[in-house]
Amino acid sequence: MLDTQAYSLFRLRKRDRIVGYMRYVSPTMHYYSTDLLWWAGEAIAYEHKDAYSTVKDKNSQYIFEWDLIKMTHKTSGDGMDALVVHSPFTSDCVAVQCESFQEIAQCDWGQYRIQRHSYLFVNPELMTAFKYNGYIPFDIV
């Protein structure tokens, strides 16, 4: 069974292209997959790794840092676009609203229906805005 703990599952990228996934079974044992189904010990070459947030969206897709998600409040129906980033203050992820840059703590995500719809690393305009507002301390592509 796939271990879904944060910091044990990563999405692997070369610039803006997803090349696979890596999971840690122990500190010295890790496996790689191109599809999240079949795992092997043969390494996949990558430049960046994005941590798993421990949350899946409404379509059971894994949500990783740098994912752009649509969050729809379950009671009010209000929707917003947000970026998933790791909080520098906790070990959890936060969703940062794309328009207001207001943060939504991961513990509050249960109030929303979440759907991943894109990635920050393929949206240069948003990447510039998030860099300007201090959410991207380095080049992610």
Phi-psi region of 65 (alpha: psi -120 to 50; beta: other; left: phi over 0): beta
Distance between CA atoms of 91 and 79, rounded to whole angstroms?
26
* Spatial CA neighbour of 54 closest among 101, 29, 88, 91: 91
Distance between CA atoms of 117 and 102, rounded to whole angstroms?
19
Intra-chain end-to-end CA distance of the chain, in Å: 31
pLDDT tens, residue by residue, 101-111: 999 999 999 99
Query: Per the structure block, which two tokens stand in for 66?
Result: 């740098």
pLDDT tens, residue by residue, 38-60: 999 999 999 999 999 999 999 99
- Give the distance between the most distant pair of CA atoms in the chain: 47
| Mean pLDDT of the region 59-77 | 96
Q: How many residues does the chain have?
A: 141
* Spatial CA neighbour of 118 closest among 46, 79, 70: 70
Tell me the pTM: 0.88
